[in-house]
Amino acid sequence: MTSNTGSCHRTRYGVIVCDNHEKWGGASSIGKRYVDIFKSKSEAEDWRIFAAIEGEVPSKGDLETFDGFFITGSPHSANDDIKWINDLKEFISSSANSSKARIIGVCFGHQLIGAALGGQVTANPSQKFVLQSEEVKTDRNFRGNKAIEELIEGLDGPLRLLECHGECVATLPPGATNLAESATCHHEMIQFTENIFGIQAHPEFIVQDYKDHLIPDLFCGGKLDENGKKLCEESLLLPLDSSKMTAALKKFLSKEDS
């Protein structure tokens, strides 16, 4: 699950995979999705997939040899007392003081960062599972990371992104800045530290993922009722801003903003 070893002139990125469900093709396929979306076609990059859910968590030393990491979504809770989750929290805590590697957390990854750095993760305020595309309203007064600043400044209105979560960051960790909110989650995007960013939404998902897997699975599992299913299907007809979000995330990860 490791990419070819690069030279000192190549940038190195890792995808820390926190799900291995067969409907996505397992951990390697989930990691490959991130690589396919975020790997630059014009620059020399090496990517490694860490199957954290199977115990393959990066070491603290990797923070000095990698330029950045994604932490993916997961069916688990950031509050679960499981070894790989606790190990990953330690890794995140160490990264807060790293000047080299940048980290982006997506959904569960976003929540895990919040928990690891001293925030609180709870069930959604509505106590209902959120599955839909949703308007995400950004803080236009944010001044910080240039990649995220440029994204916000370039918007005519809210972002529309795909959501899939039963929990969210309820309380910010010390020093973190909330950048966006939606009707169902107050902390949609968080600048945790200078080198750590998190997003509750799933910019890596596509509508077909919802139609083929998420809606049927969650409806059959009782997390989505008939009305929720209808609302989700209707929301998927609206245009998404996923490509704008992924472009900003890659700029952040690759330090194009520095």
Catalytic residues: 107, 202, 204
Neighbours of 208 (CB within 10 A): 9
Q: What is the DSSP letter of 122?
A: E
Residue pair 114/197 in contact (Cβ under 8 Å)? The answer is: no
Q: Which amino acid is at 171?
A: T
Residue pair 202/249 in contact (Cβ under 8 Å)? The answer is: no
Alpha-carbon gap, residue 137 to 168, rounded angstroms: 16
Closest CA to 101 of 37, 40, 151, 58: 58
231-253 as b/e: b if 16+ CB within 10 A:
ebeebbeeebbbebbebbbbbbb
